[in-house]
């Protein structure tokens, strides 16, 4: 099976989850608005084939990770090879299992790499050939990179890293870039290139198999090469091919590969951009620049876009599963007790169910969570008792608004790291990357004797077992339906 984006589109089509749009669509605003409306209606994924102002053969895919019914993460389930209606908890468990497996990538010959069907270097480089969408009506420009694999390399240990950071098009040969502090790509690697006064090589692989992009956009721990994680998820080695102008490797069958260099001290204004929090992201600011040295692509390339905003969007669909799974595995590795972890959209929180082994255990969980790379940017933590289904937000809200002691159950941590994207930050906090975090402990206190814990009034708990059994057995007799 070819590891590529088109194979995934075929799977979506087979499941009735894709439509080819042949009507002319303007990549400026119109495509974004169609896609956003599609989220609201839970419409199929979209492949736009006729883009206003662009050559025939240039295509744009949207909503391929958009929300579905009845389970929002149905397209991620399809990417896992599971039924579309697989429950959220099962998706997290399956992802946890596959994340534990690592398979080394293989290298294939350049002649066999579909991403090399067309190669443009030097004067031939022109980013404006591609139908980069101006997605939201509030965006500062066209974004060619909103769903892809960013490849960079640690200059010290030479380990390659995959991430996903948004890319605005500045002009024919320059891209913008935004990365939160704490991500490898910028804060970690670029900082290492600064004192050396050397440019940092970078490659952007757009339109890969779905898992390469999903894992690139997930908070995989530092120095774990995402290519090996993707191999584990797919159950086969990821196929890589070397770039043309930078010493990096990319998924061989990507639709489009952009290669380039980041000069440590250069900045250009980047933004505004609609973000996964469901808001604009806090303005136009000077941010790093990529000088493109080469573009390679498949014939009739498909540009992929994500359309972030108020839940649901693609980031919510994938990260609600991968963030939850990565975090659960890390807690398990540290020997921390918990039942289920879920990061619901807009993935600014964790909800954890647990039977606390001793009083104030919620603090152990919160400190562990906030110390994880996957936890730095989750400012809200909700700890609930084991009976609560963390993927059912009505259940969670019931618990939080009944068991959370308004004074004793809330703990605030001030002066913590923050991303500029948090809508609640004031200007000074945003400029200094400083914020606060809060723990809501909605478990009944472990210090209470059993007899003082209120009994839950639901079918399973408030009636004797023999009555429950009797009612279930006689249900059809009552004439109340199945
Ligand atoms: C669609 C999508 C867009 C994203 N855009 C950005 C971005 O612009 N900047 C950023 O810092 N993180 C962004 N992220 C999150 C990072 O990809 C994620 O934190 C990942 O861990 C980064 O990889 P790294 O840890 O190897 O640096 C995005 C994620 C997704 C799924
Ligand atoms: Mn990484």
Q: What pLDDT does residue 330 have?
A: 97
Distance between Cα 97 and ligand 2 center (Å): 19
Query: Is pLDDT of 482 > 90?
Result: no
State the residue for tokens 């534990």.
100
Range from 124-138, 278-292, 349-363, 392-406 carrying the lowest mean pLDDT: 278-292
Indicate whether 344 belongs to any domain: yes
> Is there a domain that residue 471 lies in?
no
Ligand 1, atom 10: closest residue by C-alpha: 179
Q: What is the reported pLDDT for 321?
A: 98
Q: Give percent above pLDDT 90 in the chain.
A: 93
State whether the beta carbon of 297 lies less than 6 angstroms from ligand 1: no
Judge whether 186 lies within some domain.
yes
Task: State whether 259 and 370 are in the same domain.
Answer: no
> Does residue 462 carry a pLDDT above 90?
yes
Give the pLDDT of residue 283.
85
Rounded Cα distance between 409 and 383, Å, is 10
What is the distance in A from the centroid of ligand 2 to the CA of 250?
14
pLDDT at 263: 94
For residue range 15-68, what is the model confidence (pLDDT) as tens digits? 999 999 999 999 999 999 999 999 999 999 999 999 999 999 999 999 999 999
Quick check: 236 and 184 in contact, CB under 8 A? no
Say if residue 282's pLDDT is above 90: no
Assess contact for 8 and 79: CB atoms under 8 A.
yes
Average pLDDT over residues 371-383: 96
Is 298 close to ligand 1, i.e. is its CB under 6 Å away?
no
Is the separation of the CB atoms in 400 and 384 below 8 Å? Answer: yes
The verdict on 282 and 429 lying in the same domain is: no
Torsion from C-alpha of 345, 214, 71, 144, nearest 10 degrees: 70
Identify which ligand lies nearest to the alpha carbon of 326: 1
Q: Are 160 and 225 in contact (CB under 8 A)?
A: yes
Is residue 183 predicted with pLDDT exceeding 80?
no
Does residue 182 have a pLDDT over 90? Answer: no
Split at pLDDT 50, 70, 90, the class of 396 is very high
Q: Do residue 120 and residue 260 come from a single domain?
A: yes
Distance CA 287, CA 284 (A): 9
Mean pLDDT calculated for residue range 66-80:
98
pLDDT of residue 313: 98
Is the CB of 217 inside a 6 Å radius of any atom of ligand 1?
yes
Which numbered ligand comes closest to the C-alpha of 186? Answer: 1
Take atom 30 of ligand 1 and give the residue whose Cα is closest: 217
Residue pLDDT, tens place only, 123-166: 999 999 999 999 999 999 999 999 999 999 999 988 999 999 99
Q: Is 76 within a domain?
A: yes
- Give the pLDDT score at 375: 95
- The answer to whether position 213 is within a domain reads yes
Q: State the CATH number of the domain containing residue 221.
A: 2.30.110.10
Q: Is residue 318 part of a domain?
A: no
Mean pLDDT rounded to a whole number for the chain? 96
Identify the band that residue 113 occupies on the pLDDT scale cut at 50, 70 and 90: very high
Whether 255 and 168 share a structural domain: yes
pLDDT value at residue 206:
98
pLDDT at 36: 98
Task: Say what the pLDDT of residue 188 is.
Answer: 83
Query: Based on the domain organization, do 150 and 262 belong to the same domain?
Result: yes
pTM of this structure: 0.97
Q: For ligand 1, is residue 166 a contact (CB within 6 Å)?
A: yes
Query: How much is the pLDDT for 100?
Result: 97
Among residues 287, 304, 321, the one where a domain terminates is 304
What is the reported pLDDT for 2?
85
pLDDT at 389 over 90: yes
* Residue 368 belongs to domain spanning: 334-452
Note whether 130 and 173 are same-domain residues.
yes
Minimal CA–CA distance to 348: which of 438, 408, 221?
A: 438
For residues 298 and 338, state if they share a domain: no
316 within domain boundaries: no
Q: Tell me, what's the pLDDT at 186?
A: 73
pLDDT of residue 357: 95
Q: Identify the band that residue 194 occupies on the pLDDT scale cut at 50, 70 and 90.
A: confident
- Does one domain contain both 17 and 87? yes
For residue 180, pLDDT over 90 is answered with: no
Atom from ligand 1 closest to the CA of residue 184: 27
In a domain, 460, yes or no: no
Q: Do 288 and 396 belong to one domain?
A: no
What is the CA(160)–ligand 2 centre distance, in A?
8
Q: Strand 289-297 relative to strand 174-176: parallel, antiparallel, unpaired? A: antiparallel
- Is residue 419 within 6 Å of ligand 1 at its C-beta? no
pLDDT, tens digit, for every residue of 418-442?
998 999 999 999 999 999 999 999 9
179 band by pLDDT with thresholds 50, 70 and 90? confident
> Is the predicted pLDDT of residue 184 greater than 80, yes or no?
no
Q: By percentage, how much of the chain surpasses pLDDT 70?
A: 100
Q: How far apart are CA 66 and CA 36, in angstroms?
A: 9
Where helices occur in 115-218 by DSSP H, the ranges are 191-196, 210-216
If asked whether residues 53 and 151 sit together in one domain, one would say yes
Distance CA 119, CA 125 (A): 9
Are residues 365 and 293 both part of a single domain? no
* pLDDT in the model for residue 355: 97
Do residue 363 and residue 242 come from a single domain?
no
What pLDDT score was predicted for residue 388?
A: 98
Q: What is the model's pLDDT at position 307?
A: 98
Residue 281 has pLDDT above 90, yes or no: no
Out of 266, 283, 304, pick the residue that ends a domain: 304
* Residue 166: count of CB within 10 angstroms of its CB: 24
Tally of domains in the chain: 2
Average pLDDT over residues 73-80: 98
CATH at 354: 3.40.1670.10
DSSP 136-161: STT-SS-EEESSEEEEEE-TTT--EE
306 lines ligand 1 (CB under 6 A): yes
């Amino acid at each position: 099976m070819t590891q590529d984006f088109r194979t995934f589109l075929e799977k979506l089509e087979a499941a009735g989850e894709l439509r080819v749009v042949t009507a002319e669509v303007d990549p400026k605003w119109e495509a974004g608005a169609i896609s956003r409306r599609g989220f609201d209606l839970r419409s199929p994924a979209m492949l736009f084939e006729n883009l206003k102002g662009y050559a025939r053969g240039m295509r744009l895919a949207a909503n391929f990770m958009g929300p579905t019914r009845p389970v929002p993460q149905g397209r991620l389930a399809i990417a896992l090879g599971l039924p579309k209606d697989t429950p959220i908890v099962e998706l997290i468990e399956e992802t946890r299992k596959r994340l534990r497996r690592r398979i080394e990538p293989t290298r294939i010959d350049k002649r066999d790499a579909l991403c090399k069907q067309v190669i443009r270097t030097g004067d031939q480089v022109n980013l404006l050939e591609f139908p980069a969408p101006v997605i939201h009506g509030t965006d500062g420009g066209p974004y060619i990179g909103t769903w892809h694999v960013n490849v960079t390399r640690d200059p010290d240990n030479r380990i390659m890293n995959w991430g996903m950071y948004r890319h605005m098009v500045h002009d024919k040969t320059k891209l913008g870039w935004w990365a939160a502090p704490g991500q490898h790509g910028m804060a970690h690697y670029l900082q290492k290139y600064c004192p050396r006064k050397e440019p940092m090589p970078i490659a952007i692989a757009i339109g890969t198999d779905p898992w390469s992009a999903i894992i690139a956009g997930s908070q995989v721990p530092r120095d774990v090469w995402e290519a090996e994680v993707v191999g584990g998820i797919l159950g086969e080695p990821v196929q890589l091919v070397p770039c043309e102008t930078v010493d990096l490797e990319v998924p061989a069958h990507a639709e489009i590969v952009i290669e380039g260099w980041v000069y440590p001290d250069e900045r250009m204004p980047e933004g505004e951009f609609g973000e996964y929090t469901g808001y604009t992201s806090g303005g136009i600011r000077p941010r790093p620049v990529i000088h493109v040295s080469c573009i390679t692509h498949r014939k009739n390339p498909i540009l992929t876009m994500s359309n972030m905003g108020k839940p649901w969007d693609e980031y919510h669909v994938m990260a609600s599963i991968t963030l939850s799974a990565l975090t659960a595995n890390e807690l398990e590795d540290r020997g921390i007790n918990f039942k289920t972890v879920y990061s619901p959209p807009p993935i600014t929180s964790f909800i954890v169910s647990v039977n606390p082994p001793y009083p104030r255990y919620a603090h152990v969980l919160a400190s562990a969570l906030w110390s994880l790379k996957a936890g730095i940017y989750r400012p809200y933590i909700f700890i609930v008792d084991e009976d609560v289904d963390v993927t059912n937000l009505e259940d969670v809200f019931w618990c939080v608004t009944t068991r959370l002691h308004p004074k004793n159950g809330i703990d605030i941590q001030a002066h913590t790291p923050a991303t500029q994207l948090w809508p609640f930050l004031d200007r000074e906090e945003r400029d200094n990357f400083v914020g606060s975090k809060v723990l809501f402990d909605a478990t009944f206190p472990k210090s209470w004797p059993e007899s003082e814990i209120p009994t839950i009034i639901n079918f399973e708990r408030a009636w004797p077992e023999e009555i429950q059994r009797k009612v279930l057995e006689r249900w059809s007799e009552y004439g109340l339906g199945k």
